[in-house]
Amino acid sequence: MEIEYAEIGGLVVDSSFRRQGIGLKLMEESEGWAKDNGYKEIRLRSGSQRKDAHKFYERIIGYKNINSQQLYKLSL
């Protein structure tokens, strides 16, 4: 089975460089790459604690949250 979408595993811009358009440029380049490679959809993972990033993804560039997950571990 072939993957039907491109996925960004995470995006972080150093706090001293935020709000300068770097994240937007990185996302535009990623979206362009996905389109050029025949993908009809791009997905992005972002930790639940990254509230400011979520606002950026949703309000600024139009991404929609389609899932909510928790990560569990057991130390052995």
pLDDT (tens digit per residue) in 15-44: 999 999 999 999 999 999 999 999 999 999
Distance CA 7, CA 71 (A): 19
Could you tell me the residue ranges of all domains in the chain? Answer: 6-60
Residue 60: CB partners within 8 Å, gap ≥ 6?
A: 24
User: Residue 72: which pLDDT band, with cuts at 50, 70 and 90?
Assistant: confident
**pTM, full prediction:** 0.77
Q: Which pLDDT score, from 0 to 100, does residue 1 have?
A: 59
pLDDT digit string, tens, across residues 49-70: 888 889 989 998 999 999 887 7
Among candidate residues 24, 33, 65, the one with its CA nearest the CA of residue 46:
65
Q: Which pLDDT score, from 0 to 100, does residue 13 have?
A: 92
Place of tokens 């996302």: 27
